[in-house]
Amino acid sequence: MINTAMIVADWMYRGSSFKLPISILDEDGNPSIIEEEETAHLRVFYDEIDPTVLIEKEAALVYGDIGLVIFEIEPSDTIDLLEQSYVIKVHIQKDEEVFPVLVTRLGVVPFNPVIMEEEE
């Protein structure tokens, strides 16, 4: 059974595209096989107390044989977020069953100046 997950990056630029890879692990710390009928979901919140979901995504890519899921965050998802740390929760869902695998924080930092220059 799925036990935990590991995040590769813990911050992103506000208002930019971002791919967030998450490694899903079993109780022994090995990659967990994600079955075809399972989906991975990401939710972003201000904090643990405020239940308002700011971003909700289903994994864009799933490499089930190695337990890797990748969430694609678009500029429009983060353009209005404050520059601060947010709580992210990832779960695997199979039918109506939900398996929480990760609760951690993701920082949103100011706009990337290089991207801003390219757009001008």
pLDDT digits (tens, 9 = 90+) for 88-112: 999 999 999 999 999 999 999 987 6
pLDDT, residue 60, reads 97
Distance from C-alpha of 114 to C-alpha of 120, rounded to nearest angstrom: 10
Taking a C-beta distance cutoff of 8 angstroms, is the pair 21, 59 a contact?
no
Domain edges within the chain: 2-119
| Torsions phi, psi for 57 (to 5 deg) | -140, 145
5 vs 30 pLDDT, higher one: 30
pLDDT, residue 120, reads 54
pLDDT digits (tens, 9 = 90+) for 31-60: 999 999 999 999 999 998 988 999 999 999
Radius of gyration of the chain (CA): 15
Average pLDDT over residues 61-81: 94
pLDDT, residue 37, reads 95
CA distances from 2 to 19, 23, 24, 33 (A): 22, 11, 7, 9
Average pLDDT over the chain, rounded to whole? 88
pLDDT at 115 over 90: no
The dotted CATH code for 2-119 is: 2.60.40.1930
| Helix, strand, coil share (%) of the chain residues, nearest 5 | 10, 55, 35
